[in-house]
Structures are given as C-alpha cells and as structure tokens.
Amino acid sequence: MLPLRLRDFIEDKDGWLYAVSTYDNDDRIGCVLRYVPDKNGERVHPSGRRYTKYDFEEAFAHIARYKPEYAGLLHRIPHADVKRVLKPDLEIGRIAAAYPRVKKLVGLFSLPEGAIGCTGSLLCGLANESSDIDMVVYGKHWFAAQELVCQGILNGKIEGLSEDMWRKVYDKRRPEIPYDVFVLHEQRKWNRGQIEGTYFDILYTRSYDEIRGAPSGKGRVMGTMTIEAKVTDASLAFDNPAVYEVDHDTVSRVLSFTHTYSGQALDGETIEACGVLEQHGDEGWLIVGTTREARGEYIISLTLLGQ
C-alpha cells in the first residue's frame, strides 16, 4: 500500500470522510473531518447517500463529542479504523471524466501520469454547483504547473481572479495584513485562477520520495516573537506547513500552517514574520498559524514591499 500523504482522503468504519493533513502518518493518520453521512445532508454522493460538510471548528467539536479517542491537534485515526483510502492522483481519471473543467485543466497542465490529482469534494464525489476545484500537483511538477497557470492567465486560456473574487478570498481568509498587501503577495504566486468561471487552486504535495523529513510534532513553546530575516531556502514554501529557512540568530526556519502565507516569499528576500517561537532540539522554529485564522500572526516580504 502506498504511504498516506497530505491531501489524500480516508473513510473510517462509520463512513466519515477525513482530509489527510500531514505526512506523519506511521502511527496514526493525522487528518481533519470533512464529511459525515446524514440523511438530511445537503451533499449527495452518486450512490444517493447524503452527507453534511463540516467546517474546521465544527469538525473538531463533532469529534470531541462523538469520537474523543480521535481528538488532538489533528484528528488521529488508527490505521485499523480506515475502511477506504482516496488518493487524488489515482482518482484523477474518474474525476476528469465526470467534470469537463477538471479535464480541461488536466489537459492544460499536460503533466506525467501520477504528477497531478484532484482533492476535496470532487475526490469524495460530493461536489455541488458552488464547489471549487482543488488540484494537487506533486513534488517538482508543481513548479511546472505554476508556470503554466501564469502563462495560461497571461495568454487568456485561464481567467485570472476578478476584483470581486480577490475580495471574497481576502474576506474568507481574514489575514492580519491589509487587502492591498495581501493581493500584492498573492498575485505573484500564480497558484489560483478560474476555468470557465469556476475557481481553482493548485496545491503542492510532496512526492513519495520527499515525505521523510517533513516537519512534524510540536516543540516547546517559548512565546510570541516578531522577526526580520533573510530567506535562504523557499523551495518548500508552498507545502503544508510552508517552510522558509532563514538566516537569523534565534530562528532557523519559519513555518506557516495556514495557506494564506504559503509562497509568501522567495529565496533571498527579507521577510517580517510574527508567530509563536517553538524550540525543536537546538533549533528555534517560528510558527505562523497556531490558530485557524492565525490571529495576530503573519508573514510579509519586505523586499516585495520595497522596504
């Protein structure tokens, strides 16, 4: 069996569906509850079974009430409780055949087999008319897809985000940075767009040979901290967590657990980052996204802002 990795989905013995949210799944699977069977649910599977979708806070409350043995920083599911695994890369053919916009994106990217997938509601067979497309691209191929999104928007094959859509994204994320600063950072990431009016993301996930060594575990909390530092390695800046290796006296890396600050800076840029300092062995890691909405926490590129 292939290892579980970020953006896979699992189904437990009761039919509950979870998004895998970490690479550290050897002991128990780290994930977040997304869909629960419910005869009154608004999401309908092709089988006719109805489901209710759970947002982040609702999911943790539901687990705490009904399956407290899974509760933690993530929901931790024993492998023995997993009935089914859904992998974006293995299901992409089925999804593209059922959704013409996904098929069009797959054709646009023209990446090798196994390099691209689709996660979220489309993977689970629970999409509705308002569902976004969550494309997954693995390892080095993500950067090729990023370049193709850029080219596609510039030559008109893909729609860029409208002002209204940028506002919706900003209002949904509610970041601790002004709107104009948010959009300035986002527009150069080339990781989102619209295809025939439907919003899509391209989401980075490590290839199987890159899984080992992914950050995991919580360190000793040392308090909040704001730093200014030069980024020495941003090659994993679109991963989850996003990782920025930095040149700083106290902090060796900045990690973002919120998608808002993935890809926020490039190699060689100077960032300002505010988060929670954790001690990991002899290293200090600055954690951004210690809460769902990362209140009081942020990463900005001072270089991009001309500061």
What is the structure's pLDDT at 52? 97
Please indicate, yes or no, if residue 215 is contained in any of the structural domains.
Answer: no
Q: ω into residue 241 within 30 of 0, thus cis?
A: yes
Q: 29, 55, 86 — which closes off a domain?
A: 86
Average pLDDT of the segment spanning 295-306: 96
Calculate Rg over the CA atoms of the chain: 19
Tell me: pLDDT of 58 over 90. yes
Q: What pLDDT is attached to residue 87? A: 98
pLDDT digits (tens, 9 = 90+) for 95-119: 999 999 999 999 999 899 999 999 9
pLDDT band at 219 (very low <50, low <70, confident <90, very high): confident
Decide if 307 is inside a domain.
no
Average pLDDT over residues 143-154: 95
Average pLDDT, the chain: 94
**Structural domain ending residue among the three candidates 86, 119, 136:** 86
Pair (231, 169) in one structural domain: no
pLDDT, one tens digit per residue, over 42-51 is: 999 999 999 9
pLDDT of residue 34: 98
Is residue 243's pLDDT more than 80? yes
In DSSP notation, 223-271 reads EEEEEEEEEEEEEETTSSSEEEEEE-SS-SEEEE-SGGGTT---TT-EE
Which structural domain, as residue segments, surrounds residue 56? 9-86
60-69, 70-79, 188-197, 285-294: range with lowest mean pLDDT: 285-294
Report if residue 253 sits inside a domain: yes
Same domain, yes or no, for 127 and 144?
yes
* Number of domains comprising the chain: 3
pLDDT at residue number 92: 97
Domain membership of residue 127 (yes or no) is yes
pLDDT in tens, 162-173: 999 999 999 988
| pTM of the shown model | 0.93
What distance in Å separates the CA atoms of residue 49 and residue 45, rounded to the nearest whole number? 5
Number of Cβ atoms within 10 Å of the Cβ of 256: 27
Assess whether pLDDT exceeds 90 at residue 295.
no
Is a pLDDT exceeding 90 seen at residue 217?
Answer: no
Q: Cα separation of 297 and 112, whole Å?
A: 38
